[in-house]
Amino acid sequence: MWTSAQDSRGAHGLLYSAAVHRSFLSERPMTSSDIVDVEQFWRLIEDARRRVPDATDSEAVAACATTLLSAYPRDEIIAAGPVLRKLLAESYRSPLWAAAYMINGGCSNDGFDDFRGWLIMQGREVFEHVVADPDALADLPVIRAGRPGDARLECEEALYIASLAHWKAIGEDYPDCVFTIRYPELDPAWDFDFDDRTEMKQRLPRLAALCLD
């Protein structure tokens, strides 16, 4: 069974943000039931992607996923929240933040949340591949077709799928709860100026070739 979660969007600043997010600590390790719930969440996203006319439209995918989720039993709607937060925690990594900064021509703390929301809406395969290797974003058609800053790759709506589905189904706010999530330490080796083109080209060469050259 999923358990519910609180939403948090951090303060400004890369390292300060890490301290803020680290205050949200999980009291237990992931269990087998959590793994099943992650599978169910990804099936929800894939179902939404199949139903929309254009699966690259992340806002449409998020809206469709919200509508689909609103038809679930209430406990399953509530349970989707912590799964989403776990994915946000898994993707809270400095190299991915650097990639988002390069692609979007800048990336604030909230902007990084929204970028990861967009990434989740791309589906499990893309999400897991890119989290493991942010330079692989260079393989995505939407990246290859555009230029940095032309259209920001963000989806704030994705962050609120569970709460909006709960309101749509129940007519009440998403319940407060004590479920919290452990955010990882940001890698201090990546604590450099993301406007440093030389450094970015060395660390994310394929992406830099598309966005900086």
pLDDT tens per residue across span 130-187: 999 999 999 999 998 875 445 689 999 999 999 999 999 988 888 766 456 678 899 9
Cα 155 to Cα 52: distance, rounded to the nearest angstrom: 16
- Return the number of other C-beta atoms located less than 10 Å from residue 130's C-beta: 20
Cα 87 to its chain centre, rounded Å, is 6
Q: Can you tell me the distance from the alpha carbon of 212 to that of 32, in angstroms, rounded to the nearest whole number? A: 43
Neighbour count for residue 131 (Cβ, 10 Å)? 18
Containing structural domain, residue 92: 14-211
Confidence of residue 8 (pLDDT cuts 50, 70, 90): very low
Residue at 4 is within a domain: no
Distance between CA atoms of residues 202 and 206, nearest Å: 9
The whole-number pLDDT of residue 181 equals 66
Q: Does some domain include residue 2?
A: no
- 101 domain residue, yes or no: yes
Q: What is the pLDDT of residue 17?
A: 34
| Domain membership flag for residue 205 | yes
Does 142 fall in a domain?
yes
The answer to whether 117 touches 210, Cβ cutoff 8 Å, is no
Count of domains for the chain:
1
The pTM (predicted TM-score) of the whole model is 0.82
- Evaluate whether residue 6 is within a structural domain: no
Q: Tokens in use for 190?
A: 């990546």
Angle, alpha carbons 200-189-117 (nearest 5°): 65
Q: Is 148 helix (H, G, I), strand (E, B) or coil?
A: coil
The verdict on residue 203 lying in a domain is yes
Residue 43, in any domain of the structure? yes
Which residue has better confidence, 10 or 33?
Answer: 33
